[in-house]
Structure 1
Amino acid sequence: MRQETPRSFFKVVIYLFGFLLLWEWLKPLKVVTDTASLTYFIVFIALALTLSYFRIHYAITAFVKILFILYSLHGLYYMGSFFSPRWFREFSHDLWENLGLTLGREWPSLSFEYRSLLFFVLLWLMTYLIHYWLSVRKTILLFYVMTVTYVCLIDTFTVYEGDKSIIRVVIFGFLLMGLLALERLVQREQLLGSKMSRHRWIVPLTVMLGISSVVAFAAPKADPIWPDPVPYLQSFSEGAGGSGVNKIGYDTDDTKLGGPFVGDPTVIFNAEVTREHYWKIESKDLYTGKGWEQSISDDQQDPLTFDPGKKVPIPSPQSDEERDLESEKVMVERTYSHVAYPYGVETINGNENGYFSFNPIDEKVTSYKEPDETVKLEEYELSYRSPSYSQKKMKAANEEQEIMQVPEFVDRYTQLPDTIPQRVKDLAVEITAEEDNWYDKVRAIEQYFSKEAYVYDQFDVPVPEEEQDYVDQFLFETRRGYCDNFSTSMVVLVRSLGIPARWAKGYTEGEYSRQVDSTYKLYEVSNNNAHSWVEVFFPEVGWVPFEPTVGFSNNVSYQYDIDIPDSDNNEVPIPEQKETPKQPLQPEEDTASSGDGFSLSKLWDDITSFIADNWGKIVMGTILLIIMGIALFLVRRRWMPYVLILYYRRKSSDDVFSEAYLSLMKQLERYGLKMDDGQTLRGYSRYIDQFFGTREMTSLTNNYERVLYGQSPTKEDWAKMRELWENLIKRTTG
């Protein structure tokens, strides 16, 4: 009895920690559900674990649990005496109706009484599993991991604060795992009495866990390295738009800009292109202080229609006929009626049974089948001449040129709301104070954001207050944002100087996929490539795109035709360098490529591109492989014998029997039948045969000893012993 008392005490402690872990599952229910009281559920858990601890007969246990569940349901939902048959008739009727609703999968119609009954049944199953893990398997790791995951998810996606709960779970879980490890050791090694003093195990475990918990709680915490997944997941739910979290992608409504957005890798279209360029969809001209609208409604100006293959009626003050006409093909994944096109587009094909419409207000091209019916194209081709903008003409632009004498045009593209703060206009003057022409002023504003270390950020981006200007907030307060912040701010700054500008939107060049042939490259354009930029008007040149967003480059081509005064050394002017885009565009061709188009450089670029595009899948796949490897290693006792059987069936050397016998010894050790120190082979073989109830190990050992003490092994020895060896090693898989 003196030995049983401490064992009983530690078993009670083990069940107590199991109860505390399961209790942590119930605590969030009062916060995230309409559950008013958890008392009945907590008492039920304690009752079930107590009955399991004392190993009460299952019939008595079931009767007691059912009686307590009925008593709890009566106390929660019914009036009167528990012994009154009236409430039981009502409960039986409700149970019958809810069973029908369950079979009909009408979940919202289930009564609260029935839901509580189901929850009691769930707790019944959970307590049985806890008892099984604690008393039979003596391991609680799976339930511990499930508890930590549950608390983390509840803390992340609900209002429940799980900070204290996760600390309790860690402490209870590690103490419980330590106690169970001790119990497994005592049981396996049969350590009784003076051979094992439990406090020598428990005290160091408790001290170590307590110190590490205090240190971990008090130590400084690093900031999270991954973005919060909640906005991304919530963006898929209905009504997510009201949360202030946007989902990246093309959208026609730009009246309220600001706030964070979540990425969306959904592919919109694939394009076979000859060079990288932006894909334009539309432009907007009216800045409201909160976002963008059109100053002219669609019904105020008739759209221009054109047939497939005909000239697109996009106005251009100058045409560069010297540049080659290039053609590209667009394969649409998410069909839409508008057309994404490059600058300099001339013709569009793909709507052979209809026509195209060009809106001169926003420069949007739409495909039509009938006068009032749009058509969504799955594929179209277009031709264009990549524009090259004259620096000489842009530097010569000024307010005295002909187009600048048209009030309607100037008012439309230099418009600013009356509420724009004066400090925004003052900043524009300050940035361009040292420049004497439109082009240099625009370039100074374009480069201002990178020089002043503005930050590109998709998540920590606030929404302007009701009386706050969107641009003013970005320029002077947050100084962080994404393309909409940068592009809108540049348009406002340029307009503050009286220079016509507008807001353009569409997609960047996308992600490089592969080389189609010697001419074309395939690019993948997704919602993540949705983008906005700036267009500035220069008389005699037209609308010129500019890219103020930090980390982006729109691949604009300039004519370096500025007059340079003669000098003695006749130095050739160095063309202005453009920003190098951060995203990989076209992989460089290896000059030493073979005749069939293969090159080491291209192969390396394909590999790096594949890794960049699929790094998440690669990481997850690697983790899964590691987990599978660990799982296979942990259960190797079950599958290793079959591998050994196949391996030794193929071997035909003379010493195959000796190798097979030693492999059998290792497998028996993995099974838990380890040979004790000082034990002889014959004594060990008798122990094995006694354990399995056979004579196979003795026969194998006798033959092995003859080999061990001088008799040369032969193939015939293995042929005679192989069946015994296979029968015995298969027994270790159970």
Structure 2
Amino acid sequence: MFHTHQQQRRFELFIYYFVAFLLLWEWLRPLQDFTETSHTSYFIMFIALMCLFTFFRLKWFVTFPICIGLILLALYFIFYQTEPSYPAALFDDIKDNVTLIRLGMWSDMYPSFRTLLFYILLWLLVYLLHYWVVYQQRIFFFLLMTIIYVTILDTFTPYDATFAIVRIMVFGFCLLGLLYFDRLRSVERIRISQKERLKWCLPMLTLVLISATLGATLPKSDPNWPDPVPFLKTVTNQDGDGGQNKVGYSADDTSLGGPFREDRTPVFKWSGKEPSYFRVETKSIYTGKGWEDASNDTKPVRLEDNKVQNQWFTERVKTKVHEMRVDIEKNYQFNHALYPIGTTSLTPLDEIPLKMMGKTEKIVPAVQHPPQNLGNYRISFQSPTFILEDLQKMKVPTKQQVNREIGREYLQLPSSLPERVKTLAYSLTETKNQMYDKVKAIEDYLGSDTYSYETQNVAVPGQNQDYVDQFLFDTKIGYCDNFSTSMIVMLRSVGIPARWVKGYTSGQLFETQMDGDNVYEVTNNNAHSWVEVYFPKLGWVTFEPTKGFTNPEEFTNESHFSNQRKDQKEEEDQPESKARENQQAEQPQQKGTKQPAEPKEQTTQTERSVMNVGSMLSYILAGIILLGNTSWILYRFRARWLPFFIVRKVKRLAEDEAFFYAYDALLKQLKRKGMEKKPSMTLREFAAFIDGKYGDDEMTELTLLYERAFYRKEDASALWHQSAKLWENLINRR
């Protein structure tokens, strides 16, 4: 009968843990929609395992090394796969972030460190839920906080919590009812059979499900209050011209649309020979209304010696090195850099240290108190020339390939995207077999007479309208944001990875210098957004769908490029040409047998990747073994070090509680030493047994005092004063 009751209790606890896990899951679901957090599946698996460990009551020396190993493994796969020495890199990042915390620079913490802290928070939260469910038998506070959290996200972010609210109410009310039933049973001190329990649970479950179904399906009246988000944004972005915004850079792109008026305020001047678009940042999360920052899976990268380590193109893309100088106007209110794609170095004349912000690729000062703007700086960049034959050979990559090479956010689309947008994208590209042809088909379609460029009579999407859908099918009038966003959404609809880039065009010619360099002036009117498409084995390629704008990148066919290369070779110095000919003559001819360099490089990179993974796994395995051995040694000799902490805890307890806790702790300590009290023994018999072991009567004396406090209800505080020293001698014995 007792065994049956234990099984019943275990099943009840399993239900409690499962429902609590579902509630905690609701906290993680929205993260990918409104934050830079991705890889939420790692977090979900972690809390699921933690709930299982807690349910099975595994010892801490078992769960601790396993959980540490899981966290380290997750951090490796999310952030450190490219690091040759993962443990050293992680340790360095932790040291850097501790320094940032000490300096109060919380916003500059690396994503890897924030993820580590988030794992620790989830770990603690699972134990907190365990305490609420098992010991307190109350979950109302956690349920209330979950409801508030989800409803706030539903109101102020793109996250749609319609079904989340229904799930939370079902899970929460079921758990509330079950725990309330358990509290009643505990207060009344009665045992209830499984049949009697079902008589309580089934009607409660039926009532909850019926209520939730009615609440989700019945028609609802329109809200009495308007959506506060557009109102707040209108207030904050409004200027003196009836709410119409000026053109120019804005950090907030979450709500696109609406008219703009011209603004000729100068932003910067640049001097050089190669015109280019000037990037500020990229954004890759389309919400249906606008853009949010890309998923930041990499930490900010410090520009060591002003070198930009970012690789926009592979070595297969032919590039030419150019130099330019940028002079930002003193009144420019932003401290980001403006730079062309392919930048290899960016050197501020004021020697300001810089960093690149993860996948957004925004370059900003790496100082605690940054200046208003970067002032003047020099740029060295590689201007690409894309060979059309190479682009036209590319097939659309698989989702797995995109996720592995650049990240899944570049194929992200909101679930609310109207189906007719996807249908249009498929109809434009279904006859095209290659990736480049599909991209050009969409770019050419947006550049056709179907759509018009306009900055004044541009609509703002309504509450239930999609920004791209409204432009493609309803208004067909807009400016760069409309064209670029629509192209990216249609590309992603057919599986082509793309991202949204914002910055400035090259501006207007201002003057020509004596050395032949041209000086261009860029104003707020030159603020612009465009498209970058990822081609495997080549990199990011710029496309320009906005009518009236010209793509700054160069595209050429292979024969034309070969002729250019031939002309360049003929212009080289004669001695150098002869030296090269002599060097070629010395090499044996191996026509048809020489292997291309690229597969070897790929093989080497693959071998290095395998070696890095193997090295990382060996480090993690060694760490787990070390933690396991340390935990086992601590557990094996716990009888020697635990009394120190027990004595300290007893001294902090109230005097009327200390005696009872101390005596129970002493019994447990004796059990650890191999002297366990058998169920058939009385306390006095067990005390006599212990005294026989030690050769004195201290345990018997302590037991007599304890019985007076426990059974006779004498003053426990006074009796504890008499026995405290006696108890301390017994628990500290070796």
Could you tell me the TM-score, scaled by structure 1's length? 0.42
Name the structure with the higher helix share: 2
